[in-house]
Structure 1
Amino acid sequence: MSAPEPAENGAQQLLVVIDPVARRTDGESVRIAKDVLSAGATAKICLPDGPADFARVLARRGSRRPVVIGDDRALLRTVALLHRERDLAAGALSLVPVGASVDLARSLGVPTGAVAAARAVLDGVVRRQDLLVDDSDGVVLGDLRIPAPPPPTADGRTGGAGGSSVWHTCRSLVRTLVKPAPQVLAVHTHRLRVEADGVLLSDLDEPVEAVTVRSVAGRAEIVIRTSASAEPITASALSVTVSGADFRYRADAAVTGPVRTRTWTLRAGAWGLTLPATFSPSAGR
């Protein structure tokens, strides 16, 4: 870890990028954070109109340290952009969480109050964070989950899709009122092949209920829940490959798929995040 680098004139040079969703959601917190940052550093304030403008502003940051005011999606967008630029290792990123979804920021150790988070940007230290990178150049900062698919609807389609109609919902409600739903619900499974560093953990003949992957101390921790055993299969590796029938996965807040195969590789300490100097890594997870 290291302290933020001051500029030659003694003031930090910041590029403060305010996500448009944060401006609409909580303008007061945005104003407070902006005032604290501007009082303690030389801050260039940018108000991008959308994702494309956000990317352009970030690409033109020069030597300024990027500070994002926004929610978890803004954080994920920024890390993904810097990763695609192959510029994650060059410096550090700072975040002031503002918005409805800040669970990921909290889990990483970023204060969720505007004043505390802005002060951490100015006075905190840079701590290196692990990153899961997939073979399509996607990134995962927190948890990767592959849940079992939802049950099919009465017309044979997968439940939860956009085509579910109000009529189907009404029919389900009527059936529930006429005949109470059973207390024990059927468990839905995948047919997936899961490998960790090339070692087979679970094959297609073993029904899988869920797969979870997360980075822990420079390793990818894998948990596979199957129908055959009450105890999950666990492993620690640097890469994990999942293949089989079409599946969707949730990487942090985003759902991707369907895909037939995907490999995630753990990159230890791939990016830097400014956190309070008193932060304990065990407290952030």
Structure 2
Amino acid sequence: MTEVAPSDQLLVVIDPVAHRSDGESVRIAKDVLSAGAATKVCLPAGPEEFARALARRGSRRPVVVGDDRALLRAVSLLHRQRALGACAVSLVPVGGVLSLARSLGVPMGAVAAARAVLDGRERRMDLLVDDSDGVVVGTLRIPSVALPSPGAVPFSGPGEGSGSGSGSGPGESAAARPPWLRTCQSLVRTLASRPGRLIAAPAPEASRPSRLRVEVDGVLVVDLDQPVESVSVTPGVLGGAEVEVRPVSLGAAVAPIRVVGRRVTVSGADFRYRADALVGGPVRTRTWVVWEGAWGLTLPVG
């Protein structure tokens, strides 16, 4: 880990969601950071201002006050600016989605996290970058294919919509029909115009297995003829990524397939994937490559 100088100037970017959800933690973080370093505080109103603030940070070290999504937004923007190698990112976690921050070792309290920003060290970590320049900090997951929930189907009783018993014969006028017949036919038309009864279709399984072709460093791991429950890719394993494929069990339990590599290509029918807290796709094919030591995060010493 590389030591971070406490005298660094800081650009504190406060995510609007964090400011609205927990203003007290945001205020505490600002007070601690301002007491320990020269800070410029920015409260962007939306994604455009968030990106503009990072692009104009100058020599200031970026500090994100927000949840996992705010951290991912900052890392993604700095990656596209090709600026991740020149600065360490710091995070004060505030918000409801913090599983990624916790897994990375960021302190959960506002005071402890702010002190880590001031006194911590930079830890370089790997990054997954896909062929559309999207990034994955934690884990990439490709789940089973979700099945759409069926709606209720209309049911028509005998004769509904067919006109039987409710219309006039050829050439027959309403005045020529006796009153009792006109009353009966009016009643039939009224009943026929009511909405049909709805019968709920039986609920299907929540998902069905995916059929995907997975290649790691050019070596085929699983092909389209082997349905899989899920695929996950996690960077940071021996300079590569751990790829786990879970085949569908057809009776006896099937152990997951685990391999390590630097380049992962997944293809098949349209599929969606979860990159950390974000959902991407649908796509027919996507390749992810490990960028070793591509970004730095400030963490507590020790």
Give the TM bin, normalised by the shorter chain. Answer: 0.7 to 0.9
Q: Is residue 69–residue 97 contact of structure 1 (8 Å, CA) maintained in 2?
A: yes
Residue equivalent to 1:113: 109
Secondary structure at the aligned position of 2:210 is classed as coil
Q: Does 1:191 align with 2:211?
A: yes
Q: Does 1:99 align with 2:95?
A: yes
Q: Does 1:220 align with 2:238?
A: no
Q: CA RMSD in A?
A: 1.9
Residue equivalent to 1:171: 200
Counterpart selection for 1:56 from 52, 59, 63: 52
How far apart, in 2, do the equivalents of 1:194 and 1:93 lie?
Answer: 32
How far apart, in 2, do the equivalents of 1:171 and 1:130 lie?
Answer: 49
2:246 partner amino acid: R
How far apart, in 2, do the equivalents of 1:121 and 1:107 lie?
Answer: 17
Stretches (4+) displaced over 4 A: none
Residue equivalent to 2:300: 276
Scaled by the length of structure 2, what TM-score is found? 0.80
2:267 partner amino acid: S
Q: Is residue 146–residue 206 contact of structure 2 (8 Å, CA) maintained in 1?
A: no
Residue equivalent to 1:204: 224
Residue equivalent to 2:21: 25
What count of residue pairs does the alignment treat as equivalent? 252
1:141 CA drift (Å) = 0.5
1:187 CA drift (Å) = 6.8
Q: Is residue 67–residue 98 contact of structure 2 (8 Å, CA) maintained in 1?
A: yes
Q: Is residue 147–residue 207 contact of structure 2 (8 Å, CA) maintained in 1?
A: no
Counterpart selection for 1:242 from 258, 266, 284: 266
How far apart, in 2, do the equivalents of 1:260 and 1:124 lie?
Answer: 42
Structure 1 residue runs without a partner (length 5+): 157-169, 279-285
1:226 partner amino acid: P
Scaled by the length of structure 1, what TM-score is found? 0.84
How far apart, in 2, do the equivalents of 1:37 and 1:52 lie?
Answer: 25
C-alpha distance 186-96 of structure 1, shift in aligned 2 (>3 A): closer
Secondary structure at the aligned position of 1:115 is classed as helix
1:152 CA drift (Å) = 4.0
1:200-242 residue CA offsets vs partner (Å, 9 max, x unmatched): 0001111111101101332110010112561111100001000
Secondary structure at the aligned position of 1:90 is classed as coil
Secondary structure at the aligned position of 1:88 is classed as coil
Counterpart selection for 1:80 from 66, 73, 76: 76
1:153 CA drift (Å) = 3.3
Secondary structure at the aligned position of 1:49 is classed as coil
Structure 2 residue runs without a partner (length 5+): 153-198
C-alpha distance 27-267 of structure 1, shift in aligned 2 (>3 A): same
